[in-house]
Amino acid sequence: MIANSMKPFLAGSSVIRAMFEEGKRMAKVYGPENVYDFSVGNPGLNPPQEVFDAIDYINHEMDPHDVHSYPSNAGYESTRTAVANDLNKRFGADYTFENIVMTVGAGSAINIIMKCLFDPGDKQIVFAPYFVEYANWARNYGAETLVVPPNEAGGFEPNAEELKKLLCPEVKAVIINNPNNPTGAIYSEESIKAVAEVLKEAEKEYGHPIYIIADEPYRELVYTDAKVAYIPDLYDNTLIAYSWSKSLSMPGDRIGYVAVPPKSDEAEEMCGALVVANRVCGDTNAPNIPQLIVERCIDARADLGYYKKNAADLYEIVHGAGFEAIYPQGAFYLWIKSPVENEKDFVAAAKDERILIVPGSSFASPGWVRASFCISNETIQRSKESWEVLGKKYFG
């Protein structure tokens, strides 16, 4: 009775659920302070004070009808204007409110982009390691996902040469998630330029646009002097999907946007289609209060320095215990090389030390694991002994 097309999702979901239940079981047995859960991506920070002040303003100073009735399907003009102005200021861009469509987080932003781009039989390309929902979402619209293999030798940067091998006329989009989940890498401008060159050639050859979907919820989470490229400067047909889940630490509020660069192909038509897709995909509009919050908090950030310390401390502990890991430039993930070929064995061994991490095969990159450091610094500090015990198992 449940649709066959839903069944693969249910199987995958039960694995995650089993892990979640196991975490709860362990917390009961060992005490929650003795379980080091690096598996989740739920920010431990609170939103900045500006968010609470904005809610008070919205609830007491605004016309209730403006706050609670339907805005346009695209969102409030005032919110979209604030976003456009912010992007123009930061990136020298030339957006107006009409280039911005407010969405229910980045997930929904990517879904309405896909609804507008894909017909059944179309394809998208992702770079491994990648967030598994990308393929699930594309399947909603009948599109298949081709995977560029993980570029381990090149620091997991997107590999333009490998991308080229996968291109075919059915490809309508390529997803770039930068800063990256799960590797914590910030892609070099050089790599992205190389990807752009390959795509420009392919656009000419096939005679239709190939969009880069720039998934950028981690844009502001940067811990080194690496610069996060503004992709529309390198490639016209870019659609940006953004979420405030991380920068304002309010993922449960579900607020994001799609930005359509004015110089992208038929930008006006695309904006119109995205607005309609917001309705046709069932969301109607992004929730009002979060729209009005972000409008008032466009310059605010959660205390992101907290993650910088977590990044340094967790890297030091894990590296100090003997493991090879990539120092996180951004996002909030430490990407660790498994000391044994099958990283699932490593995940199991870590669990014996009450360390919960996610196998790289969940991101199409076996041989590595992901440790999320959006948890408390105290938990990271307390995990040190367990990492050391784990390291001794492998490195003596």
**Residue from 38, 95, 97, 118 binding a second copy (CB under 8 A):** 118
Which is nearest to 177 in space by CA: 144, 208, 135, 206?
A: 135
**Nearer Cβ to a second copy (249/329):** 249
SS (H, E, C) the chain: CCCHHHHHHHHHHHHHHHHHHHHHHHHHHHCHHHCEECCCCCCCCCCCHHHHHHHHHHHHCCCHHHHHCCCCCCCCHHHHHHHHHHHHHHHCCCCCHHHEEEECHHHHHHHHHHHHHCCCCCEEEEECCCCCHHHHHHHHCCCEEEEECCCCCCCCCCCHHHHHHHCCCCEEEEEEECCCCCCCCCCCHHHHHHHHHHHHHHHHHHCCCCEEEEECCCCCCECCCCCCCCHHHCCCCEEEEEECCCCCCCHHHCCEEEECCCCCCCHHHHHHHHHHHHHHCCCCCCCHHHHHHHHHCCCCCCCCHHHHHHHHHHHHHHHHCCCCEECCCECCEEEEECCCCCHHHHHHHHHHCCEECEEHHHHCCCCEEEEECCCCHHHHHHCHHHHHHHHHHHHC
Using the contact rule CB under 8 A, the part of the chain among 84-92, 252-260, 339-347, 352-360 near a second copy is: 252-260
**Residue from 29, 61, 92, 120 binding a second copy (CB under 8 A):** 120
Six token digits for residue 20: 């979640």
**Residue from 29, 61, 69, 341 binding a second copy (CB under 8 A):** 69
Query: Could you tell me if 386 and 357 are in contact, meaning their C-beta atoms sit under 8 angstroms apart?
Result: no
Virtual torsion, Cα 273, 96, 187, 203, nearest 10 deg: 50
In angstroms, the CA 185 to CA 316 distance is 17
Provide, rounded to whole angstroms, the least separation between the CB of residue 49 and a second copy.
10
Residues 308-347 binding a second copy (CB under 8 A) are none
**Residue from 34, 44, 85, 344 binding a second copy (CB under 8 A):** 44
**Nearer Cβ to a second copy (232/391):** 232
Q: Does 121 help bind a second copy (rule: CB under 8 A)?
A: no
**Nearer Cβ to a second copy (278/386):** 278
**Nearer Cβ to a second copy (209/339):** 209
Provide, rounded to whole angstroms, the least separation between the CB of residue 352 and a second copy.
27
Q: Does 266 help bind a second copy (rule: CB under 8 A)?
A: yes
Using the contact rule CB under 8 A, the part of the chain among 112-120, 159-167, 221-229, 327-335 near a second copy is: 112-120
Using the contact rule CB under 8 A, the part of the chain among 88-96, 100-108, 189-197, 381-389 near a second copy is: 100-108
Residues 350-389 binding a second copy (CB under 8 A) are none
**Residue from 29, 56, 204, 396 binding a second copy (CB under 8 A):** 56
Provide, rounded to whole angstroms, the least separation between the CB of residue 270 and a second copy.
7
Provide, rounded to whole angstroms, the least separation between the CB of residue 25 and a second copy.
17
Residues 192-251 binding a second copy (CB under 8 A) are 208-209, 249-251
Q: Does 57 help bind a second copy (rule: CB under 8 A)?
A: no
Residues 271-290 binding a second copy (CB under 8 A) are 272-273, 275-277, 279-290
Class of residue 109 by CB neighbours under 10 A (exposed 0-12, middle 13-18, buried 19+): buried
Using the contact rule CB under 8 A, the part of the chain among 52-60, 186-194, 224-232, 329-337 near a second copy is: 52-60
**Nearer Cβ to a second copy (229/275):** 275
Q: Does 303 help bind a second copy (rule: CB under 8 A)?
A: no
Residues 130-149 binding a second copy (CB under 8 A) are 133, 136-137, 140-142
Question: Greatest CA separation found in the chain?
Answer: 67
Q: Does 105 help bind a second copy (rule: CB under 8 A)?
A: yes
Q: With CB under 8 A, what is the number of residues at the site for a second copy?
A: 77
Q: How far is CA 216 from CA 109, 241, 363, in A?
A: 11, 6, 17
**Nearer Cβ to a second copy (165/208):** 208
**Nearer Cβ to a second copy (256/330):** 256
**Nearer Cβ to a second copy (194/273):** 273
Provide, rounded to whole angstroms, the least separation between the CB of residue 40 and a second copy.
8
